[in-house]
């Protein structure tokens, strides 16, 4: 296929409708960025929930070596653990539970405060310093007194932590921000779709003579639609690149700031960023190509 | 080459059909005038040949294909076998004569070399050699129509459709265009020309199909424009 015409049309088309293309790009950049931020918040919420347990969970700390709690003269024994497990197992308020070892707890601490603190000859903490825990998921988040008091007095239990009061607001805030970001993004995506549709209408009108002749002499539908599709792709790629840049800046500065100030929360990093960037990179072209495909079929019907 | 079998075409929202039970057979290499007043169905006839529409009932065969059944994606192929010329030339104002003619080949994917060979040849055939670098607005109406004919014929179609090709031209210039169409017809191309121009029809003495209100009221070999009693 001879594509010289297609490329020259692409350049011409981009210049001819420059203002419309800019409008599409700006709208897309903002909406894609918000989608990305929404996805980052989503992952942030998941990460925080993994770390602290979600709002259905309470944590039972078992006695460790040199426990500061006077009810813990010695670290928890296997027999005590079995007894505690039996109590948890039988309690009707419990949906499920799992043990977490001191090693896992240490890994979590490393994630938050950095590897350096825990390695070398004289580490600040070792796995032995970290308490073993039981993470209990409740049937009903409102009903926890039964299990809490049942476990509290048992040998080998240091304390029962109900993090929901502390973590709850953080999780709620993150979830709210995700909803706001995605909600605003949805509106802007709609605006972007309408702008794309309008751009195509203008472009089809500007090219109506060429299109009429192409149809008459038997150019294929794809050939006629190709300049439109390439235009859509170019605007999408520019928008995606800018949106990913904005997301990187968001992670680097906004999340970076939070990370400095709120160290006890495990914040998202570049792994999560690339996931969001990937989603944005797919969504961008879809948002421009889909309406283009639909509308070129309508306007360029042979 | 073109065959209408009991073709009726009704447009949505119009009670009267634009073509009503029309049966016509045009052989390969024929030259046919399609005459009749405005609204008689000439344009609908041509548009059915081009498969811009499908008939409401009946069958239309063009270049061996039944266009009723022709899938949408095969329509471009069909149109490559048909050249079309209009009253208003429809040239691209920002392209030279050569580019206008070459455009028809470019967009159906012909190679650069083929275009380079065929375009000057066709321009010569229509009597425009040496004017390839002109812009359309530097040409007279007759010359512009020759460019349009060159563009329609450059792919050597089996059928050439001309919709009032002399409608915007003075009689002398029209004669030139008719001679050109006649020459193209002699290469074996079937020509169907819709026209109001009685003088031209009378002079050419070709087959005349007259439409009135969607009906074929006359189909006459070597006819003239008006009714022969």
pLDDT tens, residue by residue, B24-79: 999 999 999 999 988 899 999 999 999 998 999 999 999 989 998 888 888 999 99
Which positions in chain B touch A15 (Cβ < 8 Å)?
Answer: none
What would the mean pLDDT of B113-136 be, rounded to a whole number?
94
Domain spanning A54-162, CATH class? alpha beta
Q: Answer whether B92 sits within 8 Å of A2, measured CB to CB.
A: no
Q: Could you tell me the pLDDT band of residue A8, with boundaries at 50, 70 and 90?
A: confident
Burial (CB count <10 Å: 0-12, 13-18, 19+), residue A191: middle
Domain ranges of chain A: 4-51+167-299, 54-162
Q: Answer whether A302 sits within 8 Å of B72, measured CB to CB.
A: yes
Residue from the list A209, A214, A302 with its beta carbon closest to the beta carbon of B107: A214
Q: Answer whether B50 sits within 8 Å of A302, measured CB to CB.
A: no
Q: How many CB pairs under 8 A join A and B?
A: 64
Q: Which of A51-55, A110-114, A116-120, B168-172 has the lowest mean pLDDT?
A: A51-55
Tell me how far apart the alpha carbons of residues B10 and B156 are, in angstroms, rounded to a whole number.
Answer: 32
Global pTM value: 0.72
Q: Answer whether B106 sits within 8 Å of A210, measured CB to CB.
A: no
Domain ranges of chain B: 90-156
pLDDT 10s digits, A131-187: 888 888 887 766 777 888 888 888 888 888 776 666 677 778 888 888 898 898 899
Residue from the list A212, A213, A302 with its beta carbon closest to the beta carbon of B75: A302
Q: Answer whether B108 sits within 8 Å of A219, measured CB to CB.
A: yes
Tell me how far apart the alpha carbons of residues B92 and B87 are, in angstroms, rounded to a whole number.
Answer: 15
- Per-residue confidence (pLDDT) for residue B229, from 0 to 100: 45
Tell me how far apart the alpha carbons of residues B168 and A160 are, in angstroms, rounded to a whole number.
Answer: 95
pLDDT 10s digits, B157-194: 999 999 999 999 999 999 999 999 999 999 999 999 99
What would the mean pLDDT of A52-77 be, rounded to a whole number?
78
The chain A residues in contact with chain B (CB within 8 A) are 1-2, 4-5, 209-210, 212-221, 223-224, 302
ipTM of the predicted structure?
Answer: 0.87
* E strands present in chain A: 57-62, 94-100, 133-138, 157-161
What would the mean pLDDT of A236-251 be, rounded to a whole number?
95
Least Cα distance to A217 among B172, B150, B38, B56 occurs for: B150
B72 contacts chain A (CB < 8 A):
yes
Least Cα distance to A225 among A290, A148, A300 occurs for: A300
Count of CB atoms situated within 10 Å of the CB of A157: 23
């Amino acid at each position: 296929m001879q594509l010289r015409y297609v490329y020259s049309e692409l350049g011409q088309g981009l210049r001819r409708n420059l203002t419309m293309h800019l409008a599409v790009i700006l709208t897309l950049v903002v909406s894609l960025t918000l989608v990305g931020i929404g996805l980052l918040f989503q992952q942030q919420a998941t990460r925080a929930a993994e770390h602290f347990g979600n709002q259905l969970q309470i944590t039972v700390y078992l006695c460790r070596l040199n426990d500061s709690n006077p009810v813990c003269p010695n670290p928890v024994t296997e027999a005590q653990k079995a007894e505690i497990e039996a109590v948890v197992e039988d309690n009707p308020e419990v949906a499920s539970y799992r043990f977490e070892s001191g090693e896992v707890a240490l890994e979590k601490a490393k994630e938050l405060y950095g590897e350096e603190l825990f390695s070398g000859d004289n580490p600040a903490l070792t796995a032995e310093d970290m308490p073993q825990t039981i993470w209990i998921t409740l049937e009903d988040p409102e009903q926890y007194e039964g299990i809490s008091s049942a476990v509290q007095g048992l040998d080998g239990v240091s304390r029962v932590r109900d993090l929901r009061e502390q973590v709850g607001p953080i999780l709620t805030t993150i979830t709210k921000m995700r909803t706001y970001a995605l909600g605003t993004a949805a509106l802007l995506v709609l605006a972007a779709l309408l702008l794309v549709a309008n751009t195509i209408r203008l472009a089809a009108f500007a090219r109506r003579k060429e299109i009429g002749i192409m149809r008459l002499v038997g150019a294929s539908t794809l050939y006629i639609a190709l300049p439109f599709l390439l235009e859509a792709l170019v605007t999408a790629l520019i928008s995606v690149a800018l949106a990913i840049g904005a997301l990187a800046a968001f992670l680097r500065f906004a999340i970076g700031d939070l990370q400095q100030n709120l160290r006890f929360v495990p914040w998202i990093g570049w792994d999560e960023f690339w996931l969001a960037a990937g989603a944005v990179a797919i969504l961008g072209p879809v948002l421009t190509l889909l309406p283009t495909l639909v509308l070129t079929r309508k306007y360029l019907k042979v | 080459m073109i065959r209408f079998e009991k073709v009726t075409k009704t447009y949505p929202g119009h009670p009267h059909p634009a073509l009503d039970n029309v049966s016509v057979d045009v052989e390969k290499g024929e030259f046919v005038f399609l005459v009749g007043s405005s609204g008689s169905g000439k344009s609908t006839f041509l548009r059915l040949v081009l498969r811009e529409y499908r008939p409401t009932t009946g069958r239309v065969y063009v270049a061996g294909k039944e266009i009723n059944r022709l899938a949408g994606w095969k329509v471009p192929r069909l149109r490559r076998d048909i050249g079309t010329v209009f009253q208003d030339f429809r040239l691209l104002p920002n392209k030279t004569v050569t580019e206008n003619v070459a455009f028809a080949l470019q967009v159906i994917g012909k190679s650069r070399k083929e275009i380079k060979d065929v375009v000057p040849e066709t321009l010569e055939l229509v009597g425009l050699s040496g004017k390839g670098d002109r812009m359309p607005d530097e040409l007279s109406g007759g010359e512009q129509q020759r460019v349009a004919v060159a563009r329609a014929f450059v792919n050597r179609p089996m059928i050439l459709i001309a919709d009032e090709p002399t409608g915007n031209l003075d009689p002398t210039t029209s004669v030139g265009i008719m001679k050109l169409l006649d020459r193209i017809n002699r290469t074996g191309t079937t020509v169907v020309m819709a026209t109001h121009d009685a003088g031209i029809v009378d002079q050419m003495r070709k087959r005349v199909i007259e439409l009135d209100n969607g009906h074929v009221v006359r189909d006459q070999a070597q006819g003239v424009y008006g009714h022969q009693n």
